[in-house]
Amino acid sequence: METRVAIMGIIVENIESVDLLNSILHEYGKCIIGRMGIPYREKSINIISVAIDAPQDVISAISGKIGKLKGISVKTAYSSYRGGEHESE
């Protein structure tokens, strides 16, 4: 199946939604290349970037689930790269 490489930018303004966010990210952990979180204490928000390699519909599903969480915003940027699974094998 064709996969896409994307990065999700996530802004967390409601700390009470973090457990649900982490649950969603854990559910799709096999698709996540890497993740970086930055606490911005002066503004009481957290900024998270998540790099993903997955089929387009999976990336959309992750973004949609995260976007429904209270106090959390997400935007996704896609690479032009398109490839199949296990390409290096």
By CB atoms closer than 10 A (0-12, 13-18, 19+), residue 2 is exposed
pLDDT > 50? residue 89: no
The full set of domain ranges for the chain reads 2-79
**pLDDT single digits (tens) 42-77:** 999 999 999 999 999 999 999 999 999 999 999 999
Estimate to the nearest angstrom the gap between the alpha carbon of 56 and the chain centroid.
Answer: 13
Out of 23-27, 39-43, 47-51, 84-88, which region has the weakest mean confidence (pLDDT)? 84-88
Residue 86 has pLDDT above 80, yes or no: no
| Global confidence as pTM | 0.88
Instruction: Please report how the helices 18-27 and 56-67 are oriented relative to each other, as an axis angle in degrees rounded to 10.
Output: 170
Residue 72 dihedral angles phi and psi, to the nearest 5°: -130, 130
Query: Taking a C-beta distance cutoff of 8 angstroms, is the pair 9, 74 a contact?
Result: yes
Q: What is the chain's length? A: 89
Confidence bin at 85 (pLDDT 50/70/90): low
**The architecture CATH gives domain 2-79:** 2-Layer Sandwich (3.30)
Q: Is the pLDDT of residue 25 over 90?
A: yes
